Amino acid sequence: MDVRRRARRGRPVRALLAVVLAALVVLAAGLPVLPGRSVASAAPDAVGPVPGGPLRVLVLGDSLSQGFAGDATWRYWFWREARRQGVDVDLVGPHSRPYLLLPSRVVSDQARYERPALAFDTDHSAWAGSTIDTHLARVDSLVTVYAPDVVVVELGINDARHGQDGASIAAELDDLLARVWRRAPRVSVVLGQLPVHGTDPAVDAAAVAANEVLVAAHADDPRVSIAYLRNGWDHRKHSHDGLHANATGQTLLAHRFAHAFHRAGLLPEKPRVYRQRQWRPRVAPRVRVVGRKVTVDWSAARRQVKISAVRVFITRSDGQQKVRQRWIPADRNQLSRRLAPGTYRVRLVPRRGSMVGAPAPARTVRLR
């Protein structure tokens, strides 16, 4: 008897729950579907940004993304722009340094960014000289280990330099994207155009052909946002060797990548990154005085910053310039001069290709 009463009392509750659930179904049917989202995205195991967590970005690239020792790199300027817009970006990957190959053919473990203490999230998965095949061999494990929300792909120009045609480069990049999505179906991809190669017309033609195929295949793919790296690019103004970005060019690359993130809805504002700027690597030489002989030595700096030539200026305290050396190859490592007694200021100006750096603060020496 008591059991039946409890059962009867429970029937109105079950009926009310059924009405509420039915109403929720009707309401849900009328909700708008957000671009790039699905019901599956609400599942606990769905791949995507953790609500309230940082946007995890994995950069797969070559030297344009790794940068050479002494560069700020486009990654720095992109990271800085994301912070300006209030977006918490977590750059992920197995590497953290820019690239510097020593004369011994060993990669320097002292390579640094443009400023010795340049503070930003330096993680990446880019490597100078790498081809698409390099990244195909490890992309599965990278996506699994680092669980990115966004994969930036900046690859293909080295394949063109090795003689591949545009169609085969585009096909390999498609294979790379397919592997990314096979591991993480909801990952967004920011696909960088192959850049301008201003000194090799055949390589540049292959890059143009690859870009045409890639844009046709992915311009309307909601999973892909293309970074139009060639737009506005002048290799005489933006590179130091016809291909690799100078200090100004790095901000332009960052601007293009940030714009692709904005179009994908990953950054709220249009970017404000591009600017004209001088390279400031702060290459400070060691200065030794023995008697009246002054030796300016930049060999240690060459293990930290990629430079091709230097100029040495030695100025007396009265402003008279005693040494104004022409450009000399950086691999000479040092310069010695005999000077009269007095106080002198020593400055060194570094160069890499057509990119001339600002001198570090002068060193003062006294000869008696």
* pLDDT greater than 60 at residue 8: no
111 contacts 73 by C-beta, under 8 angstroms: no
**How many angstroms separate the Cα of 359 from the Cα of each of 70, 82, 144?**
13, 30, 44
* pLDDT greater than 70 at residue 192: yes
193 contacts 227 by C-beta, under 8 angstroms: yes
Q: How confident is the model at residue 10 (pLDDT cuts 50, 70, 90)?
A: very low
What does the block give as tokens for 59? 């950069």
Q: Is 177 exposed, middle or buried (0-12, 13-18, 19+ CB in 10 A)?
A: buried
Of the candidates 52, 59, 53, the residue with the CA atom closest to the CA atom of residue 76: 59
Where are the strands (E) in 88-218, listed by range? 89-92, 125-126, 150-154, 188-192
130-152 pLDDT tens trace = 999 999 999 999 999 999 999 99
Compute CA 224 distance to the chain's CA centroid, rounded to the nearest angstrom.
18
Q: What phi and psi values does residue 340 have, to the nearest 5 degrees?
A: -70, 160
pLDDT of residue 368: 87
Tokens 């977590």: give the residue.
Answer: 90
pLDDT of residue 325: 81
Of the candidates 229, 282, 219, the residue with the CA atom closest to the CA atom of residue 62: 229
Mean pLDDT of 14-20: 36
pLDDT of residue 51: 60
Mean pLDDT of 45-71: 82
What does the block give as tokens for 30? 């009328």
Cβ count near 158 (within 10 Å):
22
Of the candidates 141, 159, 146, 273, the residue with the CA atom closest to the CA atom of residue 214: 159
3 or 159, which is more confident: 159
34 or 281, which is more confident: 281
* pLDDT greater than 90 at residue 281: yes
| Residue percentage of the chain with pLDDT more than 70 | 86
pLDDT of residue 58: 99
Taking the C-alpha atoms of residue 57 and residue 267, their distance in angstroms, rounded to an integer, is 13
Q: How confident is the model at residue 52 (pLDDT cuts 50, 70, 90)?
A: low
To the nearest 10 degrees (0 to 180), the angle between helices 139-146 and 166-183 is: 40
For 206-240, the DSSP string reads HHHHHHHHHHHHHTT-TTEEEE-TTTT--HHHHBS
**CB proximity list for 293: less than 8 A, separation 6 or greater:** 336, 337, 338, 339
3-state SS assignment for residue 311: strand
325-356 pLDDT tens trace = 899 999 999 999 999 999 999 999 999 999 99
Global pTM reads 0.84
